[in-house]
Structure 1
Amino acid sequence: MIDRGPLTAAVQDLLARATGRPCGLGELPLVDGEPAELPYAVLYPLGGTPAATPFVDSWAEATLTYQVTVVARRMDQAEWLADRVRRAVLQRTASGAWVNGLEASGLYVWARRQLADDGFDSESAKDCVVSGAQRFQFSVTG
């Protein structure tokens, strides 16, 4: 059986570390107990597709989907952070290795891909907030 929690924690850590900006889990991130300054990211675990293996199979596989929403004051900030998020998750070295490792306790992440980039909500820009969502999928083995 694949536990989602370790992968969620690893993805959240990867985003904060590789982008240099705070990343909340389903909510506004906090920095030293205070709401983070813009721009920041919010990670949402969505759904997944477990492979057809018994729950006791230690080699079970799953494909888990996450949404990363970037929130910024201006469009250029939102685009900057969205680019950093995409690079954090997907960028590879010349030899094909991931630039940013993704270590999830008890799991081996063997594939990553971007499913969607929904662009930015420019309507909210008049309220000094711009947001945009991207969805990523991670294939894991237990």
Structure 2
Amino acid sequence: MIDRAPVSEALQHLIVKATGRPCGLGALPLVNGKPAEVPYVVLYPLGGPVGGAPLADASEDAELVYQLTSVAGRTDQAEWMADRGRRAVLERAPSGAWRNSLEIPGVDVWGRELDADDGTDTTASAQGVVTSSQRYRLSATSRT
């Protein structure tokens, strides 16, 4: 079975490293114990099917879905942060390998795709909050 917690932690670490901005896991990110300043991102684990291994294969499979919500003070900041998040998760090097690797003991994340892009939400812009949300699907297999 593929546990979600190590995948979530690795994805959060990848996003922080690749974007250079704070990322909270299901919550507002903290920097030195205080709420992060915008722009930042929040990573939400959403679910997805986890399948058992076929009879002749000891590997387990999982499709894990995450929402990455960029939070900013203006629309251009939210779009900038969303672009950085997209690159962090999906960008490939010229060799075809993922530019930002996911290091998860015992798990090989072999597929990453943008599942949905909800675009920018400006309904709270009068309060200085603009968001942009994308959902990503990770396909993983356990390493035996």
Q: TM-score, normalised by structure 1?
A: 0.94
Displacement of 1:50: 1.4
Counterpart of 1:42 in structure 2 is: 42
Root-mean-square deviation (CA, aligned residues, Å) is 1.2
**Equivalent residue runs for 1:72-83 within 5 Å:** 72-83=72-83
Identity across the alignment (%): 57
Displacement of 1:118: 0.1
Q: Following the alignment from structure 2 to structure 1, what is the Cα–Cα distance between the partners of residues 95 and 86?
A: 19
**Are 1:119 and 2:122 matched, yes or no?**
no
Q: Following the alignment from structure 1 to structure 2, what is the Cα–Cα distance between the partners of residues 97 and 131?
A: 30
Q: Following the alignment from structure 2 to structure 1, what is the Cα–Cα distance between the partners of residues 58 and 11?
A: 22
Q: How many residues align?
A: 140
Q: Following the alignment from structure 1 to structure 2, what is the Cα–Cα distance between the partners of residues 65 and 59?
A: 20
**Equivalent residue runs for 1:19-58 within 5 Å:** 19-53=19-53, 58=58
Q: In the TM superposition, what whole-angstrom CA distance separates every residue of 1:4-50 from its partner, at most 9, and x where no partner exists?
A: 11100000001111000000011100001111010000000001111
Displacement of 1:58: 4.6
Counterpart of 2:104 in structure 1 is: 104
Stretches of structure 1 lacking an aligned partner (at least 5 in a row): none
